[in-house]
Chains A and B, each alone.
Chain A
Amino acid sequence: MEQVKYRGGIIIDYATCTGCGKCYEVCPPDIFDFDQERHLLTVAYPEECWYCGTCIYDCPVDGALRMELPFACL
């Protein structure tokens, strides 16, 4: 069965993300996964994003993280 993909969460620009793990450290609902060894960041729980913007505030790189609103909020 095809998995339905929903809009929403945080989109990572891997070209600029430095893999510092700051967003993983601070996210209140803990939506990220971070492989410490490979410095690889992923969004494990996009559906649990609060859309607070903490990750974007605290990310040291401009534009590495982008917020994508879920459809119901559009």
Chain B
Amino acid sequence: MSINDEHITTDVLVLGGGLAGCFAAIKAAEAGAKVVLFEKAEISRSGNGTTGLHRIPLIHPDYNYTFEEFAKLNVQFAAGICDEDVSYEFAKDTMDRILDLENYGVSVRNDDGSFTFQPAPDICPGTPVIWGPGPTVWHNLKPTLAKKVKSFPNLTVLNRTAGVSLLNQDGEIGGDVVGAIGLGTRTGQFVICQAKAVIMTTGGSYRLARHKDSLYAPTRFVECGCPTNCGEGIVMAYRAGADIINMEFAKLTTVWKDFSHWGVGPAMALLRPVDGWRKQFRPEPGEEISLPGIGYKRTMNFGYDTLSPMDYDTSSLEGYPEEKGEMQRFLWALENESTSPGYFLWMKERGEDFRKAPVEFEWHPPYLHNNQAGIHMDADGRSSLNGLYCAGDLTGGGWRHSSGGAFVFGARAGRKAAEYAKEVPLSDSNAEQVDVEKERILEATRVNPRDGYSWIELEDKARQIASEYGPPYTNDPKLERGLTHLERIRTRYLPKLYARSPREMMRVSEVKAVFTTGEAFLRGALFRKESRAPMASLLHKTESPTRDDANWLKHTLFRHLKGEMTLSTKEVKRLGNK
């Protein structure tokens, strides 16, 4: 596998062509920048918007909240760990981004011009969202967005090209970001890109904790989110010296039992549970979530502490045939929720009509998805490094902005990166740093598979350790033990990861990211000496079982200093404070 590297230059480089990356690329191109976009898959169908969305946040004083009210609510639901200014700025732009989608050819309104608001208790009970105006309309949202991306002559898309490393000025960790290295996932060719600004939009990680069937099973990529996303963007930013925050606050969510995909939201929005154990499943705005774990269980847990599957009361629905009434909405909401037509096949194979049979949910293992955890981002999509911007599911600092966050901060990052690119010269990449980063992948190609280990063995082990020792319910001795195991596996066995093909070279970058996110997940939980139960997340420490705002109303900060993961804290921002 010795193909010459490709060398390219650009003003703005976008890593990841999902919902956030597409908006970033569009806005940077509209601002006149020369833009290159690396996408691991193919932009018309990639990331969590692959087969569509069923709901998009829309906050506006004409419909629901003032921006201040929304930001305050978000901070409350985040149990305080949320930069209020970021949520405020997010709310401000949601309408404009929905109007952008409309301009690009996505229908967002009903025939009479109205929006349809429905609850979405899965993404956050307090976040108002609109649903698409009719069946299957949004399942082509991504191809429509991709068409807009491809319409710019100053924008080049490199599909099947995964970002693997950032490049710093003079190769110095913590220095300005001056480019990145991409890897052709089918060619094994490196693409060395000099860029004046880089926007990281590679999504979250659905490969943090162990898949319940383990990676050895044929269900290995049956995940709630796109399995191409395993935290590489967070790790690239971390390794380049950017501030990473709150990695212990992974997302906890319920999914359909045995299918592990999202879709609980439409169920919760439209169907009433009837077994009486979830009276408080939709907390009112202002309602305090009092106890860690228990409060969360009542509000977001469907099936975790119940002993039986849940039945739904569908008597209010106009039932048969399925096309009528609320059942239609439920079905098309499911159809658009990230992954389809898998759901319909799955229900058909079961031979069950969920309107009559009990519905079962289960926990998905903890994952990283636009909760508090990720690259610390300000309201303009800036990271702590000059030249590095970010948006979407890998950002920390805001909280649960969902697809709306991808659109809003993708757009802001795109515009800001284009502005920045006008002011700075193009820098050379540091040859030594390029070699070190290439070698990080290439070393695996020299390992003899007979003496080495597969990506499956190593990734599954790292994720097993994260699951068995990490949040939500854990304690300091357990976390220390987990970190010892992780370090043992990393130092003794990870160097023998082999790669026999370009696809396996891609896995090298992924597996190394899985180890680093797992380490951060455990270290953050160890460092934080309190318990806290934000919505859709949980950390419960045996030795410190209560919330401690006096000492811990802060972001946990992770920095890559002298080759070590170093932890401290960072102030949480509130509106009105600088």
* Contact residue among B51, B160, B213, B219 (Cβ-Cβ distance under 8 Å from A52): B51
A26 to B50, CA, bound (A): 10
List 5 A-B pairs, minimum CB-CB distance, nearest first.
A51-B342, A47-B218, A6-B218, A52-B339, A28-B41
* Contact residue among A29, A46, A54, A67 (Cβ-Cβ distance under 8 Å from B228): A29
A14 interface residue per 8 A CB criterion? no
Question: Known contacts A28-B226, A50-B223: does B41 contact A70 (CB below 8 Å)?
Answer: no
Q: Find the A residue at minimum CB distance from B222.
A: A51
Query: Is A73 in contact with B139, judged by CB distance below 8 angstroms?
Result: no
Query: Is B350 in contact with A74, judged by CB distance below 8 angstroms?
Result: yes
Number of A-B contacts (CB under 8 A): 102
A41 interface residue per 8 A CB criterion? no
Which DSSP category, helix, strand, loop or mixed, fits chain B's interface? loop
Question: A52-B338, A57-B51 given. 19 additional CB < 8 A pairs?
Answer: A27-B41, A28-B227, A30-B503, A46-B218, A48-B221, A50-B221, A50-B222, A50-B226, A51-B261, A52-B50, A52-B340, A53-B340, A54-B45, A70-B219, A70-B222, A72-B213, A72-B217, A73-B346, A74-B258
User: A53: which B residues are within 8 A, CB to CB?
Assistant: 51, 339-342
A70 to B217, CA, bound (A): 9
A45 to B424, CA, bound (A): 44
B259 interface residue per 8 A CB criterion? yes
User: B50: which A residues are within 8 A, CB to CB?
Assistant: 28, 52, 54
Query: Is B258 in contact with A73, judged by CB distance below 8 angstroms?
Result: yes
A35 interface residue per 8 A CB criterion? no
Q: Find the B residue at minimum CB distance from A27.
A: B41
A8 to B259, CA, bound (A): 13
User: A6: which B residues are within 8 A, CB to CB?
Assistant: 218
Query: Is B41 in contact with A7, judged by CB distance below 8 angstroms?
Result: no
Query: Is A57 in contact with B341, judged by CB distance below 8 angstroms?
Result: yes
A69 interface residue per 8 A CB criterion? yes
Distance in Å: Cβ of A24 to nearest Cβ of chain B: 10
Distance in Å: Cβ of A18 to nearest Cβ of chain B: 19
Chain B proximity mask over A6-43: 1 for CB below 8 Å, otherwise 0: 11110000000000000001111110000000000000
- Residues in chain A within 8 A of chain B (CB atoms): 6-9, 25-30, 46-54, 56-58, 67, 69-74
**Contacts A/B (CB < 8 Å), 12 sampled:** A27-B45, A29-B228, A30-B185, A47-B221, A48-B220, A52-B339, A54-B51, A57-B340, A67-B341, A67-B342, A70-B217, A70-B222
User: B218: which A residues are within 8 A, CB to CB?
Assistant: 6-9, 46-47, 70-72
Distance in Å: Cβ of B359 to nearest Cβ of chain A: 15
Query: Is A72 in contact with B51, judged by CB distance below 8 angstroms?
Result: no
User: A57: which B residues are within 8 A, CB to CB?
Assistant: 45, 51, 139, 340-341
* Contact residue among B45, B213, B217, B341 (Cβ-Cβ distance under 8 Å from A28): B45
A71 to B222, CA, bound (A): 12
B349 interface residue per 8 A CB criterion? yes
Distance in Å: Cβ of A73 to nearest Cβ of chain B: 5
Question: Known contacts A7-B218, A28-B228, A74-B349: does B339 contact A50 (CB below 8 Å)?
Answer: yes
- For window 260-299 of chain B, which residues contact chain A by CB distance below 8 Å? 260-261
Query: Is A69 in contact with B349, judged by CB distance below 8 angstroms?
Result: yes
Q: Find the A residue at minimum CB distance from B223.
A: A50
Distance in Å: Cβ of B50 to nearest Cβ of chain A: 5
B307 interface residue per 8 A CB criterion? no
- For window 190-239 of chain B, which residues contact chain A by CB distance below 8 Å? 213, 217-223, 226-228
Query: Is B339 in contact with A51, judged by CB distance below 8 angstroms?
Result: yes
Q: Find the B residue at minimum CB distance from A54.
A: B45
- For window 124-178 of chain B, which residues contact chain A by CB distance below 8 Å? 139, 160
Query: Is A8 in contact with B219, judged by CB distance below 8 angstroms?
Result: yes
A72 to B213, CA, bound (A): 8
Distance in Å: Cβ of B215 to nearest Cβ of chain A: 9
* Contact residue among B47, B160, B217, B259 (Cβ-Cβ distance under 8 Å from A30): B160
Q: Find the A residue at minimum CB distance from B340.
A: A53
Q: Find the B residue at minimum CB distance from A67.
A: B345
Distance in Å: Cβ of A47 to nearest Cβ of chain B: 4
B428 interface residue per 8 A CB criterion? no
User: A47: which B residues are within 8 A, CB to CB?
Assistant: 217-218, 220-221
A69 to B51, CA, bound (A): 18
